[in-house]
Amino acid sequence: MTTIKTVAIIGAGQMGAGIAQTVATGGYDVKLYDAAGDRVPQAMGAIAASLSRQIARGLTTQADADAALARIAAVGSLADAAEADLVIEAAVEDETVKKSILADLVPLLGADTLLASNTSSISITRLASATDRPERFIGLHFMKPAPVMKLVEIVRGIATSAETYEAAVAFAESLGKTTTNSEDFPAFIVNRILVPMINEAIYTLYEGVGNVASIDKALKLGANHPMGPLELADFMGLDVVLAIMNVLYDGLADSKYRPCPLLVKYVEAGWLGRKSGRGFYDYSGETPAPTR
């Protein structure tokens, strides 16, 4: 198996930036690429800010933070990113987009390069089939925020080899993460359970059972959840929640996975949560304010 020393991250959004920080902190050289060129400098700024917060909390030292930042290189082309031992695709949760990236990436890869997707719901088997190396393709689902959350969900496609799985587990554990193995079913384990709960909370709001504040308070205090489901939806991104619900609804053909119409309406309005400044909460003031 390939010895992993250099890792490329394709996609410099919130997840891509978080994964890049996590991998660099773990001692690996990182190449960070995004088709939207302005996104990589923004990601580098976000990583620096995140490391500064960790220093302030005593979770890392200035020297270690500086070393991690120095290990991350912004690259301007997919060809540069492809020169890595492991490439992790971390683009938007859209199968068409992911397959398009993989189609452009595969001809540029070395014969021994491992490929992974950070997809949170899409079939690893289908994504792998769009490549020339399904046996060397695997799902590495980091939780958000990747530098903080301890779990990496590892998902094997039907053709993923045992050697690739073992390499993926060893890599994730070298980052200080705990792994769990999921079979390749829609949304895997975490989001198969979590996102329908969020969708049900949105139905509860839609039907007038409670308002945003009461629903989140009920789950935080009544079920001991660290975040309320609507607060969590805003943190994840309502477009991501909707995409996962659509994968579940289409993949399992069960009406219990039908996305709530209110969720659809918010996404259509561009109210995507924290990243857009408005979702179930309005983030324009000092304190998030419920929008319903």
The domain spanning residue 155 has which CATH number? 3.40.50.720
Structure pTM?
0.90
Averaged pLDDT for residues 22-30: 97
What domain range is 225 assigned to? Answer: 190-290
> Looking at residue 2, what is its pLDDT?
64
Q: Give residue-wise pLDDT tens across range 186-231.
A: 999 999 999 999 999 999 999 999 999 999 999 999 999 999 999 9
Q: Is the pLDDT of residue 279 over 60?
A: yes
pLDDT (mean) for 95-124: 96
194 and 176 in one domain?
no
Give the confidence band of 3 by pLDDT, cuts at 50, 70, 90. confident
One domain for residues 67 and 196: no
Active site residue 276: no
Q: What is the pLDDT of residue 220?
A: 97
Rounded to whole angstroms, what are the CA distances from 78 to 7, 81, 105, 282?
A: 13, 5, 7, 37
Within-domain flag for 217:
yes
Q: Give the β-pairing of 151-156 and 86-89.
A: unpaired
Q: Which of 144, 165, 182 is at the close of a domain?
A: 182
Catalytic residue among 118, 191, 199, 231: 191
Last residue of a domain, one of 157, 182, 207: 182
The residue type at 19: I
Residue 191 is among the residues annotated as catalytic for this protein? yes
Query: By percentage, how much of the chain surpasses pLDDT 90?
Result: 98
pLDDT at residue number 188 = 96
> pLDDT digit string (tens) for 37-48?
889 999 999 999
Q: Note whether residue 270 is domain-resident.
A: yes
In a domain, 89, yes or no: yes
Choose the catalytic residue: 141, 182, 199, 231.
Answer: 141
Rounded mean pLDDT of the chain? 96
Q: Is 182 helix (H, G, I), strand (E, B) or coil?
A: strand
* Cβ-contact 61, 39 below 8 angstroms: no
Predicted confidence (pLDDT) at residue 1 exceeds the cutoff of 60:
no
Pair (173, 235) in one structural domain: no
Tell me the CATH number at 285: 1.10.1040.50
Provide the domain count of the chain.
Answer: 2
C-alpha 192, offset from chain centre: 15
Catalytic-labelled residue, pool 50, 117, 118, 120:
120
Do 220 and 134 lie in one domain? The reply is no
Mapped to the 3 state alphabet, what secondary structure does 228-278 carry? CHHHHHHHHCHHHHHHHHHHHHHHHCCHHHCCCHHHHHHHHCCCCEHHHCE
Q: Are residues 15 and 143 in the same domain?
A: yes
Please name the residues in contact with 265: beta carbons below 8 A apart, sequence gap of 6 or more: none
The domain boundary residue, chosen from 134, 166, 182: 182
- Out of 50, 118, 121, 153, the active site residue is 153
Whether residue 17 lies inside any domain: the answer is yes
- With respect to residue 77, please indicate whether it lies within any of the assigned structural domains: yes
Q: Is 141 tagged catalytic?
A: yes
